[in-house]
């Protein structure tokens, strides 16, 4: 794993995270993890929250 970022909402909840993996200097895996039973953590949500 070369990087990780928590997905935090405006109300302070952090329902998940994004993990970035590389192999041989190239992106090999991107994982979106959900910790919440009530908020669906998707790649689209992660993109919106991380690109603010």
Q: What is the radius of gyration, based on Cα positions, of the chain?
A: 12
What's the CA gap between 22 and 37, in Å, rounded? 29
Provide mean pLDDT across the span 22-45.
93
Strand segments (E) across 1-52: 3-7, 16-23, 26-34
Does residue 11 contact residue 21 with C-beta atoms inside 8 Å?
no
Domain count, the chain: 1
pLDDT cut 90: percent of the chain above it: 69
pLDDT tens, residue by residue, 1-13: 999 999 998 888 9
Residues 6+ apart with CB under 8 A from 31: 18, 19, 21
How much is the pLDDT for 31?
95
Does residue 31 contact residue 18 with C-beta atoms inside 8 Å?
yes
How sure is the predictor about 50, in pLDDT bands with cuts at 50, 70 and 90?
confident
Q: Which structural domain, as residue segments, surrounds residue 31?
A: 3-50
Is this model's pTM higher than 0.85 or not?
no
């Amino acid at each position: 794993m070369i990087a990780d970022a928590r997905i935090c909402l405006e109300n302070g909840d952090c329902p998940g995270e994004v993990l970035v993996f590389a192999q041989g200097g190239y992106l090999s895996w991107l994982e979106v993890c959900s910790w919440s039973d009530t908020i669906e953590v998707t790649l689209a949500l992660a993109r919106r929250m991380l690109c603010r």
